Structure formats: C-alpha cells, structure tokens
Amino acid sequence: MRYKIGDFAKLLNTSVRTLRYYNSLGLLIPVEIDVFTGYRYYDDKQINDFNKIKLLQEAGFSLEEIKKYQGLLTNEIMLEKKKELLKETQNINEKIKKIDCLRSYLKDGDINFNPKQLPDKNKKILRR
C-alpha cells in the first residue's frame, strides 16, 4: 500500500517535517515522488525502516551514525556504542559526585572552602 506523506506521518505518529528531514538526510527516501504534484509516497516496508531509525535514536545513535551504518550494522558497532554510552554514564556520575561534594560547601549563595583544608576524600573528588 502507498501512503501520502501526511497519511504516513499520522500512521507513524510523527510529523511531516520529520519525514522530510529524514528524506533530506537520505535516511528514509519516499518510494515515489510525483513529478507533477511533488507529493511524496511511502509504502508498508518503510514503516519498519522508520521504526528502526527511531529505535536506534532511542539507543543513543545520532542520525548521522544511523545514516553511516544503514544496512551495515554489526555486533561490534553495537558494542562500541554501548562502550561509548557507559563512558558517558561514568562521566555523568563523576559530575554528580562533584555536585554533591560542592553542596556541602555552599554558604550564602556561594561555594566557600579552603583547598588546603579539604578532607582527602573531597580533594580527590574535586581534583578529577
């Protein structure tokens, strides 16, 4: 079955703008564009293609990465992305520790501490 872009967008619970953007990136190209009207048409197979794009985005892949790996995804690529996300998580956890440490030095709207008098535990956290 063929769908006009508006119908396809409704079916996928997305916007026409998103579909046009994906088309401009070469991620989801209509199966047909009417030369007279300029209408874009999509088919049933592209429902799955759209869902793959959305799932990969939700898993942390950028649209550029999705385009790059389109049809070429491997277990190694997935593991590399997992490793990248774990590193980001580690960095965020370190920032959270710093915030918690700095909170203990808040006074009158400012952070007040003498670096030489910090407990060793806090020196390590704030030094990273």
Which whole number is the average pLDDT over 15-22? 97
72-125 per-position pLDDT tens digit: 999 999 999 999 999 999 999 999 988 888 888 888 888 777 666 666 665 566
Q: Give Dmax over CA atoms of the chain in angstroms.
A: 76
Domain residue ranges in the chain: 2-69, 75-127
CATH of domain 2-69: 1.10.1660.10
Confidence at residue 110, expressed as pLDDT on a 0 to 100 scale: 84
46-79 per-position pLDDT tens digit: 999 999 999 999 999 999 999 999 999 999 999 9
Confidence at residue 116, expressed as pLDDT on a 0 to 100 scale: 64
> Any idea how long the chain is?
128
pLDDT band at 44 (very low <50, low <70, confident <90, very high): very high
The model's pTM: 0.78
